[in-house]
Structure 1
């Protein structure tokens, strides 16, 4: 295969809602580009793109697929991405390395939630966009209505380059107002018949052509002067203006297609090769060490890894973009994360699972390699003298958390090992083992995402797993002061155990001062603080420990043991076993035995005295509260508000932003389980949200009673 120069390369991502025909479009592009000689079908499970077994089972893309086509003496690298929002990490990583995006729209359905999500991701990445109205051969195709919806959302930047003549069954004819030609495609696919625009379409075509000329001229002062001077622009001048407009995101050209029969596909590919920016012209990934290598073959070689996948009989395949210079097979480069050497033993051009070996790749091109030892997603490889490090992909935060268990205890260790492989393939899968909750927590994007993980454990890793709602990291504290004393005494031959501790506890508030007396029954107990230790707790809050012993009733050497016993009980709170916090402890009296007293005795005495006092001190359970920001279409506002009220949410504010209603609330974490699914259902996929930790607050009494009852039942079972 030919080694393409930087200006001969175009990198695009196919993005949009599920079911818009992205994979079918990719198949048609590969056929037009000579990579395949017959089109596969998604329903038959034989497309080049959706080749993974899970995708063939689901009938939907789950991972991005790297493809290529050769057209018009140029190479188009194509990344076909999933349409479900749960797999948006693949869209974000694809846009990190391409120059342009084609947002594919299902014209019978109009501007769907996935279309809006895809557009937002392109806006964040500042990538040029082409809108492709697909399925125009469907009986319910609505070109005009969909165009109006697009303009309502994104303004007059949405500019038709084409419109269909006969949308609906039998659709095969397009008017192109850039070339001012009519394209009529054979219904069984193939090259179009190109002719002059018929008189019946001339008026409309001229009107849209003039609009396109004006939009193109607005992007360059020189072109604007030419336009005022001549009243029009040549096709080449228009191409220049459209390219500048796309790069600046001031122009979003609209194309038409019936991808299943390849109608409009060749003209789209011609536009991509002629007008979309080459890697040297596109918005590139910045280098974060302060260096700025050019996308140029004369620079020092470097590559950026944006995706890895594991294939049976092959192992891990690493997908990269050549960021600068020329990368050659057999070349040694340095990993910027580890400073270790990696050998690029082979270089491949990709078409799904099919790979074509090439000797080298030039700056701007996209390829893959195998057998890298430690290079993962977001790693940079470059020459040691350059030591480039490119900005990493920022994957979205998780929106759904579940606890993962092995059905068979013998598989516990395996599930962690297998998860590491899944994380390498999809970095939006994140796992942590919570020592506090004693659960392995999986953080992902939603229930579809979770189901994909389940599929892999069942069908690939052959491990039975189950998912459960995660436990909530409650905290325990007290609301008033209380006193308790405890004597630990044990005699069983030889040396015995003896320790007695008297203490008082009270709630701790930041900045508060210790007290010098407490009323205990009818008596006033004076306290003399001899020593104070402040212990910030790893789980939040503090323990303040005061030594108030006078007269030597407890030797100073036993005080650390008492503190240790109290701290142990703080780690396993007296109410539900949750961490305790924000407590001040005064140890003011006790007893020792000259022979039997030791550290273990005072540790147990301190632990039990603390537990007894805690239960008398108005104990309360605290729950984690999160800040929630929800963006919702105005017509769904009432449904979302009703749902939030059922989740014990406290509404903090409301407003409008970018055509959406914004709700700000504070919600208990317990009520956020499966919220991503609920919000999607209520808003038909158009709602989105962000959460962040706020703090801890006391639970309502009925919730506390329920938690205490559940914990008691759990203890009986154990």
Structure 2
């Protein structure tokens, strides 16, 4: 939405407070030069405040803390300010404080203006009065603290302060603005939004003192020449959000980062090299769109039904060929497998999820061919339950959530030999192919062997040709042709490799992908009439399967690196929970008022972890995870997986 105050336009992006919906916070912080962090004075700093502060810090956002609900009987201003300073440091600086909180809240002391704002029972426009004698000492003390904070931000102001012992209001404004731009000063304001007390003065401060779009750094450019946030520069827009509205279609929200955009203007999309005409321009107040003829640098607006422009893309004058850095969203923390209750709805479910992902990029949707599941990842259980609510109530499609399967891998731990003869005769030409092979574990950088001891005897092989196949699912298959004397014609070797690859795609233990195996084809037989490609494909496939089962096969599981931030008093509970999940604790430390646990943990054990952590920490604990490596599962886990796979196969 937007408003106009004292001849200046303020664009407002209201974001959810719950961390499950942090995507809106992250994208808004990327285009708004200033963040107002609203804190409920009756409940104090919540988990959402801490999460939003972390996102603001990552975005280098300029901040104002706004204490709301000061008219609530449980409001405790002094305690809230102390907590803000404890959590976020001494950059938290009082600009206003209430004369009284609770039901009697109606007056605010402004230590920048050194005036008292007194409101009637219904709020609105206040009386601006001198500070009463009873508050003079406290106001003077906070005024001096504010002067010191303002003076610290520029050398000339510091010198002036030392000379005069004070600063004028204009000099204080200058120092506060510089401090906010450097993120060395976070002003604190007081409001009762419901009664419209303090809101006008807050907006006045935003207009007069807070950094404008031109006073903060330009968005990072990853392609093209630098541009200046100015109306006279060439035009460039950054798209930070797309939304789908019934009867309208796609609405594209953007910030004008340079120049101006007018109705009917043609711009160049540097992500798909296409031309995009802005046929209509709008500014929005919630769901209501107001048409405008132009928008200039620093402004936010939207367009409807653009041809092929999505969020995170840049539109600009063609000669600029500019590309702004995309918004990086938080890694997902919760995953489910989604399935339509009725198979006839499968296609619709896929289409809806694709649209949902366009609107909220923190949903990650992926069909896993390996797991044969449609996997949806999000920021938490509530985030994904909201998705289900939309299917139930808006789209009227029944879906169910299931626990996602784990993408295991299979490999071997020692060498093994096997040979297999495929022979089939059923009238006419038959099928014949015989393959002898040795397999062993492959490690990057290792050299092939030329001798194996098998059954008490030495077996020599001579590598004539090597083919390395990087596998799409990770690892390699290394295929050595060691045939001598023409026992197998070279034209059948690709068929043998194809048969082995088929079994690599459906591992002999649990049907999972196999990886990191070296194969030596050293002998075999063929028939002058009956040998063909299918015969050697099947012979290679079956010989590989037999050798694999005798080569100390092991199941590998995905291991993730994770960082967990928790309050000190919940550290023990969180550590115990992680150890119960087979986590290996790698280190501990303190970071920004939190205890940080670094661990490596199997993905298998992390189902619904975000919900568990929230329960253990009262919603304050946060974590992130990133894939690290595949590692062998413990034997008891392997036995459990093999039994489960055997039961599944039997059932099918």
User: Does the Cα contact within 8 Å between 2:337 and 2:402 map onto a contact in 1?
Assistant: yes
Instruction: Decide which of 378, 387, 398 is 2:321's aligned counterpart.
Output: 387
The 1:497/1:122 distance shift into structure 2, 3 A limit, reads same
Q: The residue matched to 1:288 in structure 2 has which SS? A: strand
Matched, 1:281 2:222: no
Provide the C-alpha distance between the structure 2 equivalents of 1:285 and 1:520, rounded to a whole number of angstroms: 65
Matched, 1:239 2:173: yes
Q: TM-score, normalised by structure 1?
A: 0.87
Q: The residue matched to 1:178 in structure 2 has which SS? A: coil
Encode CA deviations 1:633-663: one digit per residue, 9 max, x unaligned.
2222111110110110111222222222222
User: Does the Cα contact within 8 Å between 1:516 and 1:526 map onto a contact in 2?
Assistant: yes
Aligned-residue offset at 1:286: 3.3
Aligned-residue offset at 1:513: 3.9
Instruction: Decide which of 119, 123, 126 is 2:60's aligned counterpart.
Output: 126
The 1:492/1:114 distance shift into structure 2, 3 A limit, reads same
Matched, 1:597 2:557: no
Encode CA deviations 1:12-45: one digit per residue, 9 max, x unaligned.
xxxxxxxxxxxxxxxxxxxxxxxxxxxxxxxxxx
Aligned-residue offset at 1:576: 0.5
Provide the C-alpha distance between the structure 1 equivalents of 2:252 and 2:8, rounded to a whole number of angstroms: 24
Encode CA deviations 1:449-497: one digit per residue, 9 max, x unaligned.
2122222223333332222222111111122232322222222221111
Aligned match of 1:564: 498
Aligned match of 1:609: 543
Encode CA deviations 1:615-642: one digit per residue, 9 max, x unaligned.
1222111111122222222222111110
Matched, 1:82 2:23: no
Provide the C-alpha distance between the structure 2 equivalents of 1:345 and 1:412, rounded to a whole number of angstroms: 36
Instruction: Decide which of 102, 116, 135 is 2:69's aligned counterpart.
Output: 135
Q: The residue matched to 2:410 in structure 1 has which SS? A: strand
Encode CA deviations 1:637-695: one digit per residue, 9 max, x unaligned.
11111011011011122222222222222111111222222222222222222322222
Instruction: Decide which of 41, 44, 51 is 1:110's aligned counterpart.
Output: 44
Instruction: Decide which of 312, 316, 325 is 2:259's aligned counterpart.
Output: 325
Matched, 1:454 2:388: yes
Aligned match of 1:99: 33
The 1:158/1:515 distance shift into structure 2, 3 A limit, reads closer
Provide the C-alpha distance between the structure 1 equivalents of 2:125 and 2:447, rounded to a whole number of angstroms: 85
Matched, 1:649 2:649: no
User: Does the Cα contact within 8 Å between 2:41 and 2:68 map onto a contact in 1?
Assistant: yes
The 1:269/1:514 distance shift into structure 2, 3 A limit, reads closer
The 1:587/1:220 distance shift into structure 2, 3 A limit, reads closer
Aligned match of 1:196: 130
Aligned-residue offset at 1:575: 0.6
Aligned match of 1:544: 478
Provide the C-alpha distance between the structure 2 equivalents of 1:436 and 1:95, rounded to a whole number of angstroms: 37
Provide the C-alpha distance between the structure 1 equivalents of 2:540 and 2:417, rounded to a whole number of angstroms: 12
Instruction: Decide which of 398, 401, 404 is 1:467's aligned counterpart.
Output: 401
Q: List alignment gaps of at least 5 residues for structure 1.
A: 1-66
Q: The residue matched to 2:598 in structure 1 has which SS? A: strand
Aligned match of 1:484: 418
Aligned-residue offset at 1:273: 1.3
Aligned match of 2:610: 676
Aligned-residue offset at 1:523: 4.5
Provide the C-alpha distance between the structure 2 equivalents of 1:328 and 1:566, rounded to a whole number of angstroms: 61
Q: The residue matched to 1:343 in structure 2 has which SS? A: strand
Aligned match of 2:438: 504
Aligned-residue offset at 1:706: 1.1
Q: The residue matched to 2:112 in structure 1 has which SS? A: coil
Provide the C-alpha distance between the structure 1 equivalents of 2:462 and 2:142, rounded to a whole number of angstroms: 89
The 1:296/1:514 distance shift into structure 2, 3 A limit, reads closer
Provide the C-alpha distance between the structure 2 equivalents of 1:424 and 1:546, rounded to a whole number of angstroms: 46
Matched, 1:666 2:600: yes
Instruction: Decide which of 100, 120, 130 is 1:186's aligned counterpart.
Output: 120
User: Does the Cα contact within 8 Å between 2:18 and 2:48 map onto a contact in 1?
Assistant: yes
The 1:552/1:344 distance shift into structure 2, 3 A limit, reads closer
Provide the C-alpha distance between the structure 2 equivalents of 1:512 and 1:241, rounded to a whole number of angstroms: 63
Aligned-residue offset at 1:522: 5.2
Q: The residue matched to 1:392 in structure 2 has which SS? A: coil
Provide the C-alpha distance between the structure 2 equivalents of 1:508 and 1:119, rounded to a whole number of angstroms: 47
The 1:566/1:188 distance shift into structure 2, 3 A limit, reads same
Aligned match of 2:243: 309
Encode CA deviations 1:293-325: one digit per residue, 9 max, x unaligned.
222222222222111211112221111112122
Query: Aligned pairs, how many?
Result: 652
Q: The residue matched to 2:268 in structure 1 has which SS? A: strand
Provide the C-alpha distance between the structure 1 equivalents of 2:220 and 2:127, rounded to a whole number of angstroms: 44
Provide the C-alpha distance between the structure 2 equivalents of 1:410 and 1:307, rounded to a whole number of angstroms: 32
1:395-414 matches, cutoff 5 A: 395-414=329-348
User: Does the Cα contact within 8 Å between 1:99 and 1:283 map onto a contact in 2?
Assistant: no
Provide the C-alpha distance between the structure 1 equivalents of 2:131 and 2:522, rounded to a whole number of angstroms: 98
Provide the C-alpha distance between the structure 2 equivalents of 1:711 and 1:462, rounded to a whole number of angstroms: 35
User: Does the Cα contact within 8 Å between 1:126 and 1:283 map onto a contact in 2?
Assistant: no
Aligned match of 1:532: 466
Aligned-residue offset at 1:519: 4.1
Instruction: Decide which of 268, 273, 280 is 1:346's aligned counterpart.
Output: 280
The 1:651/1:327 distance shift into structure 2, 3 A limit, reads same
Aligned match of 1:300: 234
Matched, 1:251 2:179: no
Aligned match of 1:152: 86
Provide the C-alpha distance between the structure 1 equivalents of 2:474 and 2:509, rounded to a whole number of angstroms: 18
Provide the C-alpha distance between the structure 2 equivalents of 1:573 and 1:82, rounded to a whole number of angstroms: 45
Aligned match of 2:555: 621
Matched, 1:362 2:296: yes
User: Does the Cα contact within 8 Å between 2:331 and 2:625 map onto a contact in 1?
Assistant: no
Matched, 1:416 2:416: no
Provide the C-alpha distance between the structure 1 equivalents of 2:227 and 2:520, rounded to a whole number of angstroms: 64
Q: The residue matched to 2:20 in structure 1 has which SS? A: helix
Q: List alignment gaps of at least 5 residues for structure 2.
A: none
The 1:480/1:292 distance shift into structure 2, 3 A limit, reads closer
The 1:389/1:694 distance shift into structure 2, 3 A limit, reads closer
Provide the C-alpha distance between the structure 2 equivalents of 1:529 and 1:357, rounded to a whole number of angstroms: 73
Provide the C-alpha distance between the structure 2 equivalents of 1:446 and 1:712, rounded to a whole number of angstroms: 33
Q: The residue matched to 1:545 in structure 2 has which SS? A: strand
User: Does the Cα contact within 8 Å between 2:433 and 2:532 map onto a contact in 1?
Assistant: yes
Q: The residue matched to 1:535 in structure 2 has which SS? A: strand
Aligned match of 1:716: 650
User: Does the Cα contact within 8 Å between 1:97 and 1:284 map onto a contact in 2?
Assistant: no
Aligned match of 1:43: none
Encode CA deviations 1:374-395: one digit per residue, 9 max, x unaligned.
1111222222233332222222
Aligned match of 1:268: 202
Q: TM-score, normalised by structure 2?
A: 0.96
User: Does the Cα contact within 8 Å between 1:349 and 1:355 map onto a contact in 2?
Assistant: yes
